[in-house]
Amino acid sequence: MPKERRYTKYKQTDVFIQTLHFQSALKIQVLGGTVVGASVSLMRLDTHKKVRAVILARSSDWYTYRLNYPLWKHGMTACVSDTYTQVRAFVKKGA
């Protein structure tokens, strides 16, 4: 069995657990009862705006799942993903 590459070692579940653990460092609050599949509602602590985020194992999964395709109308305004060694939250401009 081939060894997993370094940037693929995290799974989606791991990223979600890290998101919960590092909420204050990421300047977000996970809103309870809002998890649906791979998405969750978050409150940005700096602007107090609510965003809908997708939880991805890798930032490149945004393109793997074709979330950049405008006709999907998925309503995601943020992405939480693993970036090699850190979990980061990316928020769409204006969200």
pLDDT in tens, the chain (95 residues): 555 555 556 688 888 888 899 999 889 999 999 999 888 999 999 999 999 988 888 777 877 777 777 766 777 888 888 765 455 666 665 55
The DSSP bridge pattern shows strands 50-58 and 78-83 to be parallel
The residue with tokens 């998890």 is: 35
Q: Name the pTM for this structure.
A: 0.72
CA distance 42 to 52: 6
Phi, psi (degrees; rounded to nearest 5) at 4: -65, 140
Question: Which amino acid, one-letter code, is at 12?
Answer: Q
Give, for 50, the enclosing helix (H) or strand (E).
strand 50-58
